[in-house]
Amino acid sequence: MAAVTEDPRRLRWAVNGARTFRVPADAVEIALVEIDRAMQAAHFRTDTPDATTGVQRIHRRGSVVGDVLIGGSGLSAITTRVGPLSARGVAVTWVGAGDPQTTRVIVSLIAGSHVGGDFVDGVDDAVRALLARGVPVQDEGWSRSVDIDPALPANPRRAAELGLTG
């Protein structure tokens, strides 16, 4: 399935986005390190995924209470982080086969459009860091996360079935 390139500004607030890119197979660990670093800078914490989920990383932030307070109050227009109360967001990183020379990486926000701006900035930062380190990146761009292959855990519906969004 070809990725539909979306305007990242739209993905910041309107929908949950996903970025797909390919890196050389021997650079996957470097990519995961950069994604972890960038997501932590965006106030996401790393949770250890269950091996049966098929994802390499889960990044969570905020809480349901924070999400309701911030999203329901209009504060999301001002900020997505107010002290310990933060709008809830869940992102996953899926790594899978690409062509013989590359590995496909999808970083997808599966829950929490209120944190879309921080998510987009974080993933963009991770890709820039990879390029700065000399890692060749074949960028397929941004899409809506619901447009990811429905069989992959980077799709919000599949992620919910796997219990990743809770």
Residue 103 has pLDDT above 80, yes or no: yes
- State the CATH number of the domain containing residue 38: 3.30.310.220
Distance, CA of 102 to CA of 30 (rounded, Å): 14
CB 44 within 8 A of CB 91: yes
pLDDT tens column, 35-89: 999 999 988 988 878 888 999 999 998 754 544 444 444 444 444 444 444 667 8
Tokens 């796997």 appear where? 162
Q: What is the pLDDT of residue 44?
A: 92
Residue 162 has pLDDT above 60, yes or no: yes
Domain membership of residue 165 (yes or no) is: no
What is the band of 166 on the pLDDT scale with cuts at 50, 70, 90? confident
Q: What is the DSSP string of 63-83?
A: BHHHHHHHHHHTGGGT-SEET
Average of per-residue pLDDT values in the chain? 82
Domain membership of residue 55 (yes or no) is: yes
Q: What is the span of the domain harbouring residue 125? A: 12-145
Backbone angles phi, psi at 46, to 5 degrees: -90, 130
Q: What percent of the chain has pLDDT over 90?
A: 58
Q: What is the pLDDT of residue 9?
A: 55
Backbone angles phi, psi at 20, to 5 degrees: -115, 135
Is beta strand 102-111 parallel, antiparallel or unpaired with respect to 17-24? antiparallel
Q: What is the pLDDT of residue 100?
A: 84
What is the band of 112 on the pLDDT scale with cuts at 50, 70, 90? confident
C-alpha distances in Å from residue 35, one per residue of 41, 83, 85, 128, 155: 10, 24, 23, 11, 18
Rounded mean pLDDT, 14-32: 92
Domain membership of residue 6 (yes or no) is: no
Residues in the chain: 166
Q: What percent of the chain has pLDDT over 70?
A: 76
Domain membership of residue 98 (yes or no) is: yes
Candidates 154, 157, 126, 156; CA nearest to 139 is 126
Domain membership of residue 4 (yes or no) is: no
CB 20 within 8 A of CB 149: no
Instruction: Report the greatest alpha carbon distance in the chain.
Output: 49
Domain membership of residue 158 (yes or no) is: no
Q: What is the pLDDT of residue 83?
A: 43
Domain count, the chain: 1
User: Helix, strand, or coil here: 16?
Assistant: coil
Q: What is the pLDDT of residue 5?
A: 54
Domain membership of residue 153 (yes or no) is: no
Domain membership of residue 166 (yes or no) is: no
Q: What is the pLDDT of residue 80?
A: 45
Cross-strand bridge partners of residue 47: 58
